[in-house]
Structure 1
Amino acid sequence: MDDGDYTARMTELIELMRLIGNDTQQCEVKECGRRISSTITDTLSAFSNGNGGYIILGLSEKRGFTPVEGFNARSMQEALSQACEKMTPVVRPVIVTCPFEGTNLVFAVVDEMLPRDKPCFLTAAGPYAGSYIRTGDGDRRMTAYEVDRLMEEQRQPDYDLGIVPGATIEDLNPALVYGLLERERERHPRVFEGRGDVDMLRDLRVLIGEDEARARHPDAHGGAKDADTADGGNADSGNAGGRTDGGDDAAPVLRPTLAGLMALGRYPQKFYPRLAVTLAVFPGTSREEVFVEGAQLVTAETITGPIPVMIDNTVESLTDWTAGAPHTEPDYPCDVLREVVANALMHRDYSPDAQGTPVQVCVFTDRIEVTNPGGLFGAVTSRTLARPANASTRNPFLFALLQSTPYPDGGAVTDSDGTGYRSIEAALRREGREPARIDNAIDRFTIVIPRRRTGPDDAGERNFAQRIMTFLERHARAGVRDLMTELGMSPIEVATGLRALKNKGLVESETVQVQPQRYYHLTDAALHDAVPRPPAERSGMSHGPSVS
Structure 2
Amino acid sequence: MPAITSDEELARAIDRMRAAGTDVAEYELKASVDDLPKSTAETMSAFANTAGGTIILGVRESRGFHPAKGFVPKTIQAKCAQTAREEVSPSIASDIRVLMFEDAPVVVANIPEASARQKPCYVRRLGQRNGSYIRTGDGDHKMTPYEIDRFIENQLRSARNDVAIVHEATIDDLDAELLSSWLAAERSSSFGRADAVDDCTLLANRRVIAVDEDGTLRPTLAGLMALGNYPQKYFPRLNVVFSCYPQSEKGTLSPQGKRFEDIANLDGPIPQMIVDALRAVSRNIKHGAIVKGALREDVPDYPLDAVREAVANALMHRDYSFDGQGEPVMIDLYPDRLEISNPGGLYGSLTVDQLGQRGGTASRNQALSRILEEVPYTDIDGRRGHVVENRGTGYPIIRNALADALMDKPIIDNGLDGFRIIFRHRSMTEQESTSYTRGNVREAVLDFISERESVSTSEIARAAGVSNKTARGYINELINEGIVEGLGSQNSPKRRYRLAGKRG
Tell me which residue corresponds to 2:175: 173
C-alpha distance in 2, partners of 1:62/1:123?
30
Is 1:162 the counterpart of 2:136 in the alignment? Answer: no
Match of 2:259 in 1: 296
Alignment of 1:304-453 (within 5 A): 304-324=267-287, 328-387=298-357, 389-408=359-378, 410-453=384-427
For 2:98, the equivalent position in structure 1 comes to 97
Which residue number corresponds to residue 6 of structure 2? 6
User: Residues 228-285 of structure 1, C-alpha deviation per residue, up to 9 Å, x if partnerless?
Assistant: xxxxxxxxxxxxxxxxxxxxxxxx3110000000000000000000000000100021
Q: 1:86-128 CA distances to partner (integer Å, 9 max, x unpaired)? A: 1110111100000111110001111111001100000111111
- Residue 313 of structure 2: SS of its match in structure 1? helix
Separation in 1, partners of 2:433, 2:131: 54
**Residues 179-188 or 322-331, more deviating:** 322-331
Taking a change above 3 Å as real, the CA distance of residues 411 and 4 of structure 1, as seen in their structure-2 partners, is closer
Pair 1:200-2:199 in alignment = no
Q: CA deviation at 1:361?
A: 0.5
Closer/same/farther in 2, CA of residues 408 and 265 from structure 1, 3 Å limit: farther
Q: Which residue of 1 aligns with 2:249?
A: 286
Counterpart position of 2:228: 265
Is the Cα contact below 8 Å between 1:51 and 1:111 reproduced in 2? yes
Local SS of the residue matching 1:263:
helix
- 1:29 and 2:29 correspond: yes
Deviations 1:482-521 (A, max 9, x none): xxxxxxxxxxxxxxxxxxxxxxxxxxxxxxxxxxxxxxxx
Bigger mean CA offset, 12-21 vs 362-371: 12-21
- State the 1:379 CA deviation: 2.1
Give the conservation status (yes or no) of the 8 Å contact 1:266–1:306: yes
The answer as to whether partners of 1:379 and 1:391 remain within 8 angstroms in 2 is no
Change (3 A) 1:297 1:390: closer
Q: CA RMSD in A?
A: 2.0
The residue number in structure 1 matching 2:63 is 63
TM-score with structure 2 setting the length: 0.80
Are 1:210 and 2:212 matched, yes or no?
A: yes
CA shift in 2, pair 1:5/1:100, >3 Å: same
Give secondary structure in 1 for the equivalent of 2:185: helix
CA-CA distance at 1:301 after TM superposition: 1.1
Q: CA shift at 1:416, angstroms?
A: 3.4
Indicate conservation of the 8 Å contact 2:288/2:432, yes or no.
no
Shift of 1:5: 4.2
Distance 1:88 1:180, change over 3 A: same
Amino acid in the other structure paired with 1:267:
Y
Normalising by the residue count of structure 1, what TM-score does the alignment of the two structures yield? 0.74
CA distance in 2, matches of 1:459, 1:23: 46
Distance 2:423 2:4 in 1: 42
Specify every segment of 5 or more residues in structure 1 that has no aligned partner in the other structure, as ranges: 212-224, 226-251, 461-548
Between the two proteins, the alignment pairs up a number of residues equal to 418
Q: Which amino acid aligns with 2:302?
A: Y
Shift in Å, 1:457 = 6.5
- Residue type matched to 2:273 in 1? M
More strand by share: 2
Residues 1:144 and 1:388: Cα distance change in structure 2 (over 3 Å): farther
1:254 aligns with 2:217: yes
- Taking a change above 3 Å as real, the CA distance of residues 73 and 294 of structure 1, as seen in their structure-2 partners, is farther
CA contact (8 A) 2:243 2:331 kept: yes
How far apart, in 2, do the equivalents of 1:209 and 1:177 lie?
A: 18
Describe the shift of the 1:96–1:169 C-alpha distance in structure 2 as closer, same or farther (beyond 3 A): same
Kept in 1: contact 2:288–2:301 (CA 8 A): no
Aligned-partner Cα distance in 1 for 2:399–2:405: 10
Give the residue type in structure 1 aligned to 2:417: D
C-alpha contact 1:374 1:443 (8 A) present in aligned 2: yes
The answer (yes or no) to whether the contact 1:380–1:388 under 8 Å persists in 2 is no
Q: Deviations over 1:300-341 (max 9, x none)?
A: 110000000000110111011113467641111111110000
| Structure-1 separation of matches of 2:330 and 2:195 | 41
Offset from partner CA, 1:446-471 (integer Å, 9 cap, x none) = 000111112347679xxxxxxxxxxx
Q: Which amino acid aligns with 1:389?
A: G
Q: Structure 2: which 5+ runs fail to align? A: 290-295, 435-504
Partner of 1:193, secondary structure, is helix
Number of the residue aligned with 1:487: none
Tell me how far 1:394 sits from its aligned partner.
Answer: 0.6
Q: Distance in 1 between matches of 2:360 and 2:420?
A: 21
In structure 1, what is the equivalent of residue 112 of structure 2? 111
Match for residue 128 of structure 2? 127
Give 1:187 shift. 1.1
Indicate if the aligned counterparts of 1:309 and 1:408 stay in contact, CA closer than 8 A: no
C-alpha separation in 1, matches of 2:79 and 2:258 = 54
Q: Which residue of 2 aligns with 1:150?
A: 151
